[in-house]
Structure formats: structure tokens, C-alpha cells
């Protein structure tokens, strides 16, 4: 029997070292090296029938190029994020804060697929089958095609996969599953890496769409080695504020679709409910006739979303004013304030500035620059904007307003929700005609935008 060797692995990136180090040489994180024993390669068991294949290499021109049909769920928001539905044989990783609703989302998805006649195997390592049944009763997710198992041993999981032969597999969560041949605790770097690699081979060879639930760190990233995100086909983050009822499903990696789409859900007593028109949700509590409040048309993938931007500028007695932003990059906010000071002559050096995207949405595109600038100027001058204006555009350092993409879709969304005016870049008006009943104001500089919005 070979002697077991001790090694140290980083819990963040998976870098291995023969001795303990205070700072990881791979990612530079401190105090992340943990002791692990050498992994024993298993020659038998471990569901060898699952991972063996006799397929031989073939010329690429002899491989069929037909488009494999996707498995559509009843949750259209989930289909949008995945690129049209679940791809057979794909490996999907879902992460999110504890209690955000990951298990609820996957149980509803499992029920939707099982209701279409597909076999679904839901393996929970954190809840008993009775607890899963209680959640299913609350969600109304009861069907004879949905199989539930509480197990963490990889050998027992393989036997269940062989017995059920599912079309859709859920592992909740990957940090609780362990391989008996790996001499380390469940959730360690070696266990997570080996178990994920095994499920990847099962998904690809047997064509089973597999979803892995992953824990997250305090910073919000998927716990475990970074290699985990490289191994899977799709990485989804389930986000949301505990003080709000809605949740955002965002893709940061997707081999079968776009990573710009988001899905919006609302958490209720009977589970997650899809939000088909997110603009109405984000603007439902918007005050009218208040300074510092503007509406911006942002693009989330191919979907235009109208959200409210709120700014508050207040005098400070401290030598260095505070600059705080929620939902917008802090560096972008500093850039906008610098442009207002230099190009517009606003003396903001003695003013605290706070910028917030109402509802907790995160906006990361430059098209929100102009609305942020108008909000800050409106609060600084204590001059409210018109309640039925929509503003969008990118700001340059010289004070010019640059064109943005998909301007036509943004204007149509504003018109659909009853807004009367749109303040946007002049250069984005080329090549299309605005709908009737809405006024379009094309501007070229920030000064023009402030005159049009604040009068």
C-alpha cells in the first residue's frame, strides 16, 4: 500500500504546495492553505461503468452538426438566462447566498421538467427527504417523475443514477458530496474537484443535464477552487437583497448562450414567481416631483429595463467628502462628479454625494452615466426633473455625450410604460424612427442634457 503524502491546497484557487504558506502563491490570498492528504486514484468502483467510453477519435468533418434540441422549462426567465432552455448533457453550476432561494428554484425547475414526462433525480446532501417533501408541498411540486434522495456518498449516488437513469440531475450541494477514495473531508479542494470532474464525465457521456449547487464565500464568489468554474458549462449566480422580495438570476459563463441576460423572480409564500415586466416592478414605488430622482433605460442582455436612479448631495463639514454608490461602480461615479465639477462648474468638493439604484439592481453599462449626472445635478441644485422623462447616454471626460447601443429598444420600452420624453445622445438617433406619441431630445453635451432635464 502506497504511503499517503500530506500537501497543502488553497481553498480559493486550488494551488498546491508541499508545505504550509501564509500567502497563496497562486492568487495571493492570505491564510487559505489547508492541509490535505494525497488523493488515491481508484481503479475499481466509483461507478466505473458511468465514466468508461469506447468512442474513438473521428475527423471533425464526419461528425454530425445537427442542433441538439434544448429542454424548455416552464420558467421562461430561466430559459432566457440559459439561452433558450436546458442543453442535454450540460453541467450547470448555481451559486448564491444562503437562504436566497437556490433550492426553491431548482425544485420548481425539477417539477416543471418532471411534469413534461422527464425523469428528474434530486439529490440533497443538506436536507432529508421529509424536509424536501415539505418544501414540495408548499411549492406544489409533486409528481411521480421526480425522484428524491438524501445521500452524500459518491458510490451511492452513482448507484441511484444507474437505477433511475434520469434526464435531469440536481446535486444540492457539491460541497456535501464526497468520494470515499479521496482522503480529505467533504467540501475540501480535492473533494470538490474530484466530484465535479466525475459529474462532468457522467453528464457528457450519458447526456444527463446536471445542475450543481455551490456554496459562496463571504465575498460572494463560488467557494472552492477557481478550477470549478472552468470545468462546468454554465455558471449562474442567484442574487438578491434580503430586504426585497425579488431575485436576479445572472449568467457569468454560458457555453450555449449569452452571458448578458438576466432572469427576474419574486419570492412569495408559494415559491418563486416570474416577473415578466421588470420595469413596472422597479418603478412601482418611485416618487414624483422630487429632486435627485431620474429614470434610466438600461439594457440587460436583449431586454430593456427601466430603473430609478436616486442621488443625494449634502453639505459636509469634513475636509474630504464622502462618495458612496450602490448598484453603480464607485469609480464611474467619481468620474461623473469630476466631469460635473470641471465642465459644468459645480462646486462639489464640500458636498457628500450618494448614488443609489432603487431596488438593489446592479447597472454596469456606461449608458447610465448621463442619468447619474442629471440625478447628482438635480439634487445639488434642488431642482426636480420631470416625472415622465427617461435619460440615457455615455459621458466622456470632455463633457460630450456618446452614442449607446440598442437605443431603439430603450425608447420603445419607455413609450410602452407611458413616458413622454426621452433625453438621449444625438448620434444614437440615426437609422430608426421613434414611435408616435413620445418626444425625443437629442443632446451632444452634458450641458445640453442639464438644460433639457432641469430647465
pLDDT tens for 208-239 read: 999 999 988 777 777 777 778 889 999 999 98
- Would you list which residues are annotated within the binding site for ATP? 96-103
Q: Is residue 66 part of a domain?
A: no
**Bridge partners (DSSP) listed for residue 36:** 7
Residue with cell 459562496: 216
Q: Quick check: 195 pLDDT over 60?
A: yes
Q: Is residue 53 part of a domain?
A: no
The continuous run of DSSP H or E covering 34 comes out as: strand 33-37
> Are residues 201 and 340 both part of a single domain?
no
Q: Quick check: 17 pLDDT over 50?
A: yes
Dihedral sign (CA 82, 87, 92, 96): positive
What's the pLDDT band for 397 if we cut at 50, 70, 90? very high
Q: Is residue 67 part of a domain?
A: no
- Condensed to tens digits (0 to 9), the pLDDT of residues 327-343 reads 999 999 999 999 999 99
Q: Of 8-12, 59-63, 66-70, 347-351, where does mean pLDDT reach its minimum?
A: 66-70
Q: Is residue 210 part of a domain?
A: yes
Q: What's the rounded Cα separation, in Å, for the pair 379 and 315?
A: 11
Q: Quick check: 47 pLDDT over 60?
A: no
> Could you tell me which residue, 443 or 286, shows the higher pLDDT?
443
> Are residues 100 and 199 both part of a single domain?
yes
Q: What pLDDT was estimated at residue 49?
A: 44
Q: Which of 261, 276, 291 is the last residue of a domain?
A: 276
Most confident of 12-21, 45-54, 242-251, 421-430: 421-430
Q: Is residue 55 part of a domain?
A: no
Q: What pLDDT was estimated at residue 85?
A: 92
- Would you list which residues are annotated within the binding site? 96-103
> Are residues 333 and 263 both part of a single domain?
no
The model scores a pTM over 0.75: yes
Number of folded domains in the chain? 3
Q: List the domain range (segments joined by +) for residue 31.
A: 1-38
> Are residues 170 and 319 both part of a single domain?
no
**Bridge partners (DSSP) listed for residue 357:** 309
Among 449, 451, 279, residue whose Cα is nearest residue 373: 449
> Are residues 292 and 259 both part of a single domain?
no
**Burial label, 454 (beta-carbon count in 10 A; 0-12, 13-18, 19+):** middle
Q: Quick check: 181 pLDDT over 50?
A: yes
> Are residues 110 and 195 both part of a single domain?
yes
Q: What is the mean pLDDT of the chain?
A: 88
> Are residues 241 and 323 both part of a single domain?
no
What's the pLDDT band for 242 if we cut at 50, 70, 90? low
> Are residues 245 and 296 both part of a single domain?
no
- Condensed to tens digits (0 to 9), the pLDDT of residues 87-139 reads 999 999 999 888 889 999 999 999 999 999 999 999 999 999 999 999 999 99
Q: Quick check: 299 pLDDT over 70?
A: yes
Give the residue-averaged pLDDT of 395-417.
94
> Are residues 243 and 295 both part of a single domain?
no
Q: Is residue 54 part of a domain?
A: no
Q: 269: domain CATH number?
A: 3.40.50.300
Q: What's the rounded Cα separation, in Å, for the pair 370 and 422?
A: 12
Amino acid at each position: 500500500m502506497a504511503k499517503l503524502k500530506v500537501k497543502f491546497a488553497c481553498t480559493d484557487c486550488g494551488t498546491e504546495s508541499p508545505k504550509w504558506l501564509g500567502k497563496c502563491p497562486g492568487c495571493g490570498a492570505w491564510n487559505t492553505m489547508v492541509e490535505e492528504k494525497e488523493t488515491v486514484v481508484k481503479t475499481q468502483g466509483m461507478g466505473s461503468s458511468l465514466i468508461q467510453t469506447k468512442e474513438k477519435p473521428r475527423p471533425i468533418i464526419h461528425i454530425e452538426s445537427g442542433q441538439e434540441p434544448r429542454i424548455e422549462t416552464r420558467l421562461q426567465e430561466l430559459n432566457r438566462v440559459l439561452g433558450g432552455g436546458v442543453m442535454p448533457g450540460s453541467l450547470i453550476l448555481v451559486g448564491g447566498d444562503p437562504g436566497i432561494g437556490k433550492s426553491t428554484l431548482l425544485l420548481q425547475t425539477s417539477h416543471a421538467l418532471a411534469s413534461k414526462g422527464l425523469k428528474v433525480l434530486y439529490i440533497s446532501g443538506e436536507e432529508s427527504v421529509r424536509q424536501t417533501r415539505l418544501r414540495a408541498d408548499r411549492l406544489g411540486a409533486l409528481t411521480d417523475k421526480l425522484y428524491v434522495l438524501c445521500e452524500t456518498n459518491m458510490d451511492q449516488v452513482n448507484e441511484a443514477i444507474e437505477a433511475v437513469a434520469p434526464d435531469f440531475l440536481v446535486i444540492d450541494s457539491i460541497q456535501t458530496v464526497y468520494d470515499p477514495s479521496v482522503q480529505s473531508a467533504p467540501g475540501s479542494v480535492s473533494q470538490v474537484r474530484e466530484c465535479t470532474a466525475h459529474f462532468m464525465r457522467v453528464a457528457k457521456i450519458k447526456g444527463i443535464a446536471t445542475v450543481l449547487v455551490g456554496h459562496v464565500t463571504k465575498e460572494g464568489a463560488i467557494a472552492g477552487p477557481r478550477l470549478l468554474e472552468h470545468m462546468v458549462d454554465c455558471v449562474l449566480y442567484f442574487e438578491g437583497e434580503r430586504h426585497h422580495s425579488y431575485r436576479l438570476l445572472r449568467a457569468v459563463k454560458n457555453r450555449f448562450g449569452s452571458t448578458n441576460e438576466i432572469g427576474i423572480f419574486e419570492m412569495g409564500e408559494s415559491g418563486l414567481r416570474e416577473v415578466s415586466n421588470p420595469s413596472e416592478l422597479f418603478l412601482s414605488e418611485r416618487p414624483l416631483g422630487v429632486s435627485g430622482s431620474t429614470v434610466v433605460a438600461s439594457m440587460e442582455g436583449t431586454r430593456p429595463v427601466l430603473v430609478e436612479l436616486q442621488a443625494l448631495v449634502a453639505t459636509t463639514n469634513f475636509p474630504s467628502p464622502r462618495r458612496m454608490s450602490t448598484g453603480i461602480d464607485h469609480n464611474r461615479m467619481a468620474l461623473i462628479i469630476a466631469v460635473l465639477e470641471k465642465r459644468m462648474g459645480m462646486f462639489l468638493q464640500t458636498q457628500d454625494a450618494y448614488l443609489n439604484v432603487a431596488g438593489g439592481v446592479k447597472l454596469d453599462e456606461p449608458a447610465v452615466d448621463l442619468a447619474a449626472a442629471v440625478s447628482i445635478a438635480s439634487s445639488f441644485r434642488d431642482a426636480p426633473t420631470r416625472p415622465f422623462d427617461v435619460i440615457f447616454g455615455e459621458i466622456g471626460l470632455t463633457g460630450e455625450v456618446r452614442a449607446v447601443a440598442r437605443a431603439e429598444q430603450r425608447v420603445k420600452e419607455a413609450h410602452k410604460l407611458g413616458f413622454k420624453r426621452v433625453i438621449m445622445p444625438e448620434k444614437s438617433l440615426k437609422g430608426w424612427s421613434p414611435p408616435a406619441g413620445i418626444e425625443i431630445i437629442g443632446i451632444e453635451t452634458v450641458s445640453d442634457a442639464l438644460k433639457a432635464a432641469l430647465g
